[in-house]
Structures are given as structure tokens and as C-alpha cells.
Amino acid sequence: MSASPSANVEPLAGIVGAENVSTALEARIACSRDASGLEGECLAVVWPSHPEHVPAVVEWALQEGVDLVPRGAGTGLCGGATPQRSVVVDLSRLTRIGPLDREGRRIEVEAGVVLGALNRRLAPQGLFLPVIPGSHRAATVGGMIATDAAGLRAVRYGTLRDWVEEVTLVDGLGRVHRLRGDALSSAVGREGVTGFVVKAVLKLASLPTRRTVSLIAFDDEEALLIQRDRWLQDPQLTALEYLNRHAAGALGWEARPHLLVEFDSDRGDIHDPERIAALWRARDGLYPVLARRGHPVIEDPRLEGEALQELLRWLDAEGIPAFGHLGVGIVHPCFRDGDGRIPALYERVAAWGGRVSGEHGIGLKKKGWVDAAFRAEIQQLKEKYDPKGVLNRGKLC
Amino acid sequence: MLTEPTADGSVELAENPPCIECGLCREVCPLFAVLRQEHLSPRGLALLAEREVASVVFYQCTLCRACKEVCPVGHDPDGERVRARLVARGVETEANRAMIENIRKYGNPFGPLKEGEIPKTLTCC
Ligand SMILES: Cc1cc2nc3c(=O)[nH]c(=O)nc-3n(C[C@H](O)[C@H](O)[C@H](O)COP(=O)(O)OP(=O)(O)OC[C@H]3O[C@@H](n4cnc5c(N)ncnc54)[C@H](O)[C@@H]3O)c2cc1C
Ligand code: SF4
Ligand code: SF4
């Protein structure tokens, strides 16, 4: 990374306050990557402390001729928040929560609110935002909207798209849009290429009063998938997580394929809340543990039926550790850097009619694998919301 | 990384697992909780340490190790050793210098104190 950046940030200090912008090497290095480890060059970092700052930051970028990268917690796994000689706009300081509409079960939050903090705040009211990615302790609402995050309870509660009522979006010309209904698809899952999510009104669910889990080891994937299909019929199922034998072994569990399932009833075998919390903690830490053991490249294909079974068989036979939200067909194989089988995975998934990204997004990492229809859709959105190409340049396609 | 021999020549026996940048520890860090800037988070500090950036930002870490408690791989920020190396390279805050000097001279970080006197200034890193 060059020692002296080339963006004139002086006018920015006038907009956001001198303490909320930096060209210091420390800040630029720290924001040069996301959890994928994909690295780029960061020219400066801005931390808006009010949503109202963001349109002015965009206007500054248009004048300066630099591009902007929205950043939440940087837990993204596909380089979506990685700058490429860009200015990073870190929304972590937009943390206002409320007001809560208890009757209507909805709440307004700013983009930098962390899911874990939001749910802790809501718990005494018996409510929660039920989309829980493994990164829930750190991921921001803005980042989750931008990636249409799924996660551990997607089998019951779907993805973030199902829980957003309104998004306030600042586009690439600095215009502010309040998106509702069908228009939400211009922001949700668009990974910041159409604008900054600065605020959102989220729908909330009732917090289950009962939670039990079962952890079951199977002889093989076939038997496991038969049991999966049975459990999917259960209306009280809230999570159905898979670990293949290579991933289970990494956690110190018996090296057999496992399902970790959760019910909001007494149906599960494990009732002790502390044991349940410990199991979920182990599950949350699974990717970091596999990364530490030399498998940092995580993928997220989504498949169903025969193809899903084929995929699980292939991963098992190849010795590739994998886990995932099997209830919705999302699998996370983890590879060593540069593993030649990664393109083979994408090719297989495409041939089987699956999606190469079930939840993490496309970012920089998977843009070579999107189809022409997706590219055309993004280009159309770009013309409407970011005609000057200021936002997340070079991402998605 | 920070696994080289210590100043007194002893060698670290336990390996410190490197940070894999998941970011899961951000919210437990008291430093990040207040400042909300990536370079003042455990992950940011780990990256700067790995790159051997000689910076006074390391003095802002409280050495509490809350990050290590929640880290799925058990990465230790090893703030004491990072600072020791910074001091050896002449990178130190004025406050740290005064604090260490006070401890050496007076046995406490505050400076000269009479019996029962409550310190008026807290010199910290
Ligand atoms: C251990 C671990 C487990 C994970 N588990 C899951 C999981 O179960 N399910 C899942 O879906 N994901 C998971 N992820 C991936 C990641 O946590 C999600 O993609 C999350 O939604 C990203 O949120 P963030 O705040 O960290 O966003 P970032 O990583 O900062 O950004 C992600 C993308 O969104 C854009 N963006 C961020 N904020 C905004 C904003 N306010 N406006 C517009 N664009 C924005 C960025 O430019 C980037 O393209 C996991 C990651 C880790 C490290
Ligand atoms: S210190 Fe641990 S928890 Fe924090 S980012 Fe690094 S690996 Fe993740
Ligand atoms: S040891 Fe330092 S980096 Fe880790 S949580 Fe405490 S203050 Fe943060």
C-alpha cells in the first residue's frame, strides 16, 4: 500500500468532521480487506456519524473523481467491501436504534447497528430479528441487507429480504430514496452497487419461549438426507445445520456426518440452555476453525434434490470439509488457497442448475461466474442508481 | 508474526494462532465499542501487528483480552510484547514513558505520593 494516498480529503473533513476521516496508514491498511482476505488499496476511510452525511460524501466523491466502497463490519466473505484504490465509507458509527413499534412489530435502525446488539435490545420485549448468520455477533444490518444474508435459521425465517419493510438508500448521485415493496429489490442483495443503505425499517418476530436441539451423527450422507426431508415437514423446526465428517472432525466431534437441528418446542433431545448455547458457539466458530486449519476459502453454493446429494457425496469423497444451512440447501465447502477444485465446484454447480452463491454474495470473488442475465440486470440498475459508477466499482460484474 | 524469542532470550512455547480475520471479536473489544474504527479493533490491530506497522495505536489496546476469550481460534493480541518491541524501536507515547518511569522510580504509575495521598493524575498508556 502506498504511503501517501491521492484523494484530497480536506473538503470531507468539513462535511463529516475531521475526526471522522483519515488517510493514516493504520486506517487504510485495516480497511483494505474483508473477512475473505481479498485485499485492495484504500485511499482513505470516512466514518459518517449521521445518515445525513452520506449524500454529501457521495457529492464529494463525484467532484473528486474517486469511487466509494460501503463497509459494515467487514465480515463479508467475497471481497465485497474490499477497496480498489477507493475511499472506504465505514458505516459502523451509524448505530441508532428505534423507535420500536411494538404493536406493529417493526423497528427503525441505522445501517451500522450490529445484529447481536439489536437482538439483545429487543429480547426484553419478546421480539427479535430472526435472520441469524454465523457472524451475528458482528455483522451490521446494512451489510446484511446488502448481501441479503441468510444463516442458521433460514429454514424457518428465510433471508433478510423477508424482514425488511423500508430501506433509505443514498444512490451514486447522492439522491435519497425511500424504497418499499417491489422497489426494495433495488437495494436488498445488491451488495452496495446501487447505493448506501443508511437506515431501514425491519420487521420483527416473536422470540420463541422454548428452544431445544438435537445433534445426530449419521453413517452416511444418504441416511442424513432422508432424515433431513422428514424434519423439514416439522413446523417447529427452526434450524437444520449440516457438518460433513471432515468438518465434524475439525471440531473434535466424531468424524461422521452430523445434523444439528433446533426446534421451538420440546422436540429436541438437549434442553439445557447452556449446552445449547455452547453447541451454537461451536457452530458459529466452525468456519474460523477450518480457516485456521488451512481451509480459508469458503464457498456457498445452493442446490436441491439429486444435485445436493451429488455435491455432498463429491465433497466427502474429495476430503473437503463442508458444513452449511442444509435446511435451505446452502453448503459451505472450505478449501485451501488456490485449490484447483474450486473452479470444478462452480462448474458442477452451474451444470446442476444450482446457484454459485447461496448467501455470501458475488463481490469480487465470484464475478467471473455470473450469467449474462444477471449482468444485464445489474447494468440496468447501475444506469438508474449509479450512472457515474461511483459505488463499489468493479464488483458483481 | 510475534512468535520470535522474547527480550530475555526465552522462547515462546505455546504457538499463538494467527488471526484469520473473521471479525467475530469486534463487538467485545472495549476500544472498538467506543471508537468504532477498524484499525482500533482486535482484527485491525492483528493485521497491523502482522505487517509490523510501528504505530502508537497499539498503546490504545487495554490488554484486556476480551477478544481472545471469544476468538474461535484463540488468537492472542499479545499487546505487551507488541509494545515491548515498539519501545525497543523508540515508538512510544509520552504517557507510556511517564507511566513506566513512575513505576520504576516510585513503584506506582502515578508518580511521587505521600502516605494516604490520592493521585490527581492517572498516567496511562
Ligand atoms: C464466521 C462467519 C460466518 C458467517 N456466516 C454467515 C451466514 O451464516 N449467513 C450469511 O448470509 N453470511 C454469513 N457470513 C458472511 C457475512 O457475515 C454476511 O455477508 C454479512 O451480511 C456481512 O455483513 P457486514 O456488516 O460484515 O458487511 P460487509 O462485509 O462490511 O459488507 C458486505 C457487502 O455489503 C456492502 N455493504 C455493507 N454495508 C452496506 C451498506 N450500509 N449499504 C450498502 N452496502 C453495504 C459492502 O460493500 C459489501 O459488498 C459469515 C461470515 C463470517 C466471517
Ligand atoms: S482475533 Fe479471532 S475473532 Fe478476532 S478477527 Fe481474528 S480470528 Fe476472528
Ligand atoms: S485486548 Fe485489546 S484488542 Fe483485545 S479486546 Fe481488549 S482492548 Fe480490544
Domain termination site, one of A207, A232, A262: A207
Q: How does residue B6 score in pLDDT terms, banded at 50, 70 and 90?
A: very low
Q: Give residue A324 CA to ligand 2 midpoint distance, Å.
A: 21
Contact yes or no for A26 and B57 at CB 8 A:
yes
Say which residue the cell 515491548 belongs to.
B84
The cell for A200 is: 431501514
Q: Is the CB of B44 under 6 A from ligand 3?
A: no
pLDDT for the residue A89: 98
CA of B120 vs chain A CAs: smallest distance (Å): 29
Q: Which of A189, A207, A225 is the last residue of a domain?
A: A207
Task: Tell me how far the alpha carbon of residue A120 lies from the centroid of ligand 3, in angstroms.
Answer: 22
CB distance B22 to ligand 2 below 6 Å: yes
Do residues A129 and A187 both lie within one domain?
Answer: yes
Inside any domain, residue A370 = no
Closest CA to A59 of A15, A93, A2, A102: A15
Q: Collect the ranges in chain A with pLDDT lower than 70.
A: 1-5
Q: What does the domain layout of chain B look like in residue ranges?
A: 1-92, 93-125
pLDDT tens per residue across span B51-81? 999 999 999 999 999 999 999 999 999 999 9
CB atoms within 10 A of CB A43: 22
| Per-residue pLDDT tens over the stretch A309-330 | 999 999 999 999 999 999 999 9
Is the beta carbon of B31 within 6 A of some atom in ligand 3?
yes
Of A31, A75, A93, the CB nearest to B23: A75
Residue to substitute from A26, A75, A89, interface B, most B β-carbons within 10 A: A26
Domain B1-92, CATH: 1.10.1060.10
Question: Grid coordinates in use for A59?
Answer: 457529492
| pLDDT score for B7 | 47
Please, which pLDDT band fits residue B121 given cuts at 50, 70 and 90?
confident
Alpha carbon nearest to ligand 1 atom 13, residue? A133
Residue B47 has its nearest CB partner, among A30, A45, A137, at: A30
* pLDDT greater than 90 at residue B12: no
Residues of chain B with Cβ-Cβ distance to A112 below 8 Å are 36
Q: Are residue A203 and residue A216 in the same domain, yes or no?
A: no
Band (B120; pLDDT cuts 50, 70, 90): confident
pLDDT band at B5 (very low <50, low <70, confident <90, very high): very low
Peptide bond into A48 cis (omega under 30): no
Q: Can you give the residue range of the structural domain that contains A69?
A: 10-90
Co-location of A18 and A31 in the same domain: yes
Residue A280: CB atoms within 10 A of its CB come to: 20
Tell me: do A347 and A286 sit in the same domain: yes
Residues A133 and A61 in one domain: no
A26 contacts on B by Cβ (under 8 Å):
39, 44, 48, 53, 55, 57
* Same domain? A136 vs A67: no
In the block, cell 458509527 appears at: A93
Residue A169, domain member (yes or no): yes
Domain boundary among A145, A173, A207: A207
Task: State yes or no: ipTM above 0.90.
Answer: yes
**Is residue B3's pLDDT more than 90?**
no
Q: How many domains in chain A?
A: 3
Are A119 and A168 in the same domain? yes
